[in-house]
A and B are shown apart, each in its own frame.
Chain A
């Protein structure tokens, strides 16, 4: 197996006496979707915040293409090719698609003026590549649907050089049809072959539809991992519930 684009070894994070992550290993390969599953409070958010450079790990190491990498700021992470699409998408609702697309990385001419036409065109073309034809890049993001916003955030991360795309519950809080749209977008990104995706979700069906590799977190530790081939439906369910057996739960419920 080729060296993964990103490898995480023994990652630990403590907030004072509280251990949020207790030694997590993870591999992300280009062209693969790696589903990261776990219950609320399992440490998913802490993990992605470390990968995105928001938090620094207490122990453990991140390797990018085999070389150790330390992210002190979100900028470091993004320079190393980690693109994070947060649940709130980091979008400014009142501002246009283009202005959001280039937020913080605006194209300027020699006089410091924004190259609005060029930016409009790039935003439009990049979004078209992964799914939606956006007729009007001057439209405010607030008027877009949740799925379109997700696409915008993903297109932005890819355009600015993401080699690992972290998607934090991209399908939650969306309608059924929009969820399918986002999955299609993820599939398109996967098909490019040069980008690895970390797909965080609560939804077992979505992860089965699209993921190549699975990692299950519970209480800050990896409680199981595998690939599409090695894991079956029931096993995924069991691990998602934090390792509890469905049968046990049924028994418990019956005894109440």
Chain B
């Protein structure tokens, strides 16, 4: 038995065992349960043509910022300034659109407003990262400072320049600007077109929707047909596309590239990563800029969709982003997490937060009870995963 070595003691696992042990499996199961429950409880309303659009809109919002928060958390840091960054970016864009570019540079186009805002938010993100890595202070406290700071700056700027903390009634830029349209317009119209075609085909020459037994279900709405028998919904909000793009790029980077390897290593064991030549500080600063980017995308989609802005926009969003990241299987201590899990987490939390619109009989505050519950469960589940990997179990 001389040749027996330690690796022999590690039983090789079956496909099923490996799947069950994946970090995103928990959030996947919760998501499936929620989808089924919502289907039934809302009499299918949550997933009819308009319900799906509305749900996807909120899921995409959560998903965009949760992706940023999750990757930063994998690298071992927090960003509590995401919500205030959303408010700041929205204010900045709306104000430029209403009052013109700063320093008398003339009228703002949507593109100019976006780029100048992005330059500012990325600079702030860089600065936050710089302060965190240089001071060695906890990012929790540094970004908490920026949470207050930027919310305050947003309100003060609103009052000074605009005399009110809201901007509404901006022209609908989507109609003339392709740029505003890709942020605030509609996407994947083919999906709803096909849905409508399918609906037409199913209802052609029949009167069956009217004769169906279950009165509470609006079968025409399920087939993307309105009361005048026209196409009801034209497309998803553009933020759906941005969420897919950001998630796909994030997934690719985290699982397939050197940068992803460095991000995991930075959050896992910073000193080990540094000893192996990983530019730990640059990775962290870059990720603070990435969360700022995600917050800016969130704000831009909102501003160009609704043509309004408000100093309170994005309030509490940093906490939702962190909660979704954790529900998706990201470790609070860094070094471990899954973009796919964050996608599942965003779908779960988005659906539940929106559920009250489809099930009017429930109290909307149940959303927070639910979120608190799964957050707690997720923290325990994640801790178990961490212990298993580090040999604790």
Binary contact readout A72-97 vs B (1 if CB under 8 angstroms, 0 otherwise): 00110010000010101111111100
By the criterion CB–CB under 8 Å, are A142 and B258 in contact? no
Minimal Cβ-Cβ distance residue in B for A89: B272
Q: How far is the CB of A228 from chain B (nearest CB, A)?
A: 27
State A143–B386 Cα separation when bound (angstroms): 11
One of B4-12, B32-40, B176-184 contacting the partner: B4-12
User: Complex formed: what's the CA distance from A86 to B390 in Å?
Assistant: 19
Inter-chain contacts of A95 with B (CB < 8 A): 261, 264-265, 268, 335
Q: Within the complex, what minimum Cβ distance (angstroms) separates B256 from chain A?
A: 5
Residue A108, interface by CB 8 Å: yes
Give the distance in Å from the alpha carbon of A197 to the alpha carbon of B238 in the complex. 60
Contact across chains for A136 and B10 when beta carbons are under 8 A apart: yes
B10 with A104: CB separation less than 8 A: no
Contacts of B106 in A (CB 8 A): none
Partner of A104, one of B7, B264, B273: B273
B261 and A103 contacting across the interface, CB-CB below 8 Å? yes
Interface size class of B (residues with CB under 8 A): 20 to 34
- A143 to B5, Cβ gap below 8 A? no
User: Of A91, A135, A147, which one neighbours B272 at CB under 8 angstroms?
Assistant: A91
Min Cβ gap A18→B in Å is 23
Contacts from B to A (Cβ < 8 Å): 5-7, 10, 12, 256-258, 260-262, 264-265, 268-269, 271-273, 275-278, 331, 335-336, 386, 389-391
Do the beta carbons of A114 and B6 come within 8 Å of each other? no
B268 touches A104 (CB 8 A): no
Scoring A86, A102, A103, A140 by chain B CB atoms within 10 A of each residue's CB, the highest score goes to A103
Residues 142-154 of chain A, each 1 if its beta carbon lies under 8 Å from chain B, else 0: 1111011000000
Q: With A74-B275, A94-B331, A112-B257 given, can you name 15 additional A-B contacts, CB distance below 8 Å? A: A90-B272, A92-B268, A93-B269, A93-B389, A94-B386, A95-B335, A103-B261, A103-B277, A104-B278, A113-B256, A113-B257, A135-B12, A140-B390, A144-B6, A145-B6
Given the known interface contacts A74-B275, A92-B335, A140-B389, the answer about A133 and B5 at a Cβ–Cβ threshold of 8 Å is yes
**Could you name 28 residue pairs across A and B whose Cβ atoms are closer than 8 Å?**
A90-B269, A91-B269, A92-B265, A92-B269, A93-B268, A93-B269, A94-B264, A94-B268, A94-B335, A94-B386, A94-B389, A95-B335, A102-B261, A103-B273, A104-B262, A104-B277, A104-B278, A105-B276, A108-B257, A108-B258, A113-B257, A116-B256, A133-B7, A135-B7, A136-B10, A142-B391, A147-B6, A148-B7
Q: Does A134 touch B at the CB level, under 8 Å?
A: yes
- Nearest 6 CB-CB pairs, A to B? A104-B277, A104-B276, A142-B390, A92-B268, A90-B275, A90-B272
A99 interface residue (CB < 8 Å to B): yes
A58 at the binding interface (Cβ < 8 Å): no
A241 at the interface (CB under 8 A from B): no
**Separation of A78 and B275 alpha carbons in the complex (Å):** 11
When C-beta atoms are compared, the residue in chain A nearest to B13 turns out to be: A136
Q: How far is the CA of A136 from the CA of B13 in the complex (A)?
A: 10
Contact assessment for B5 and A92 in the assembled complex, using a CB-CB cutoff below 8 Å: no
For the complex, give the distance between the alpha carbons of A142 and B336 in Å. 12
A132 within 8 Å of B (CB atoms): yes
A143 and B261 alpha carbons, distance in the complex (Å): 19
Instruction: Tell whether A139 is near chain B: CB-to-CB under 8 Å.
Output: yes
| A99 near B257: Cβ-Cβ < 8 Å | no
* Residue of A104, A136, A143 with most partner-chain B CB within 10 A: A104
In the bound complex, what is the Cα–Cα distance between A136 and B276 (angstroms)?
Answer: 22
> Does A106 interact with chain B (Cβ within 8 Å)?
yes
> Closest chain B residue to A127 by CB distance?
B7
Known contacts A93-B389, A133-B7; A103/B12 CB under 8 A: no
Shortest CB-to-CB span from A224 to chain B, Å, is 31
Cα A89 to Cα B276 in complex, Å, equals 10
A186 to B73 alpha-carbon distance, docked (Å): 38
| Residue of chain A at shortest CB distance from B260 | A114
Q: Given A105-B277, A134-B7, A139-B10, do A90 and B389 touch, yes or no (CB 8 Å)?
A: no
Say whether A93 contacts B275, CB under 8 Å: no
**Residues in A whose Cβ lies below 8 Å from that of B260:** 114
Chain B nearest CB: distance from A170 CB in Å?
A: 16
**B390 touches which of A74, A94, A132, A134 (Cβ 8 Å):** A94
Q: How far is the CA of A191 from the CA of B271 in the complex (A)?
A: 32
CB distance from B381 to the nearest CB of A (A): 15
Supposing A94-B390, A104-B276, A142-B391 touch, asked if A114 and B256 sit within 8 A by C-beta, the answer is yes
Cβ-defined contact, A103 with B278, below 8 A: yes
* Inter-chain contact A99/B264, CB cutoff 8 Å: yes
**A residues within 8 A CB of B5?**
132-133
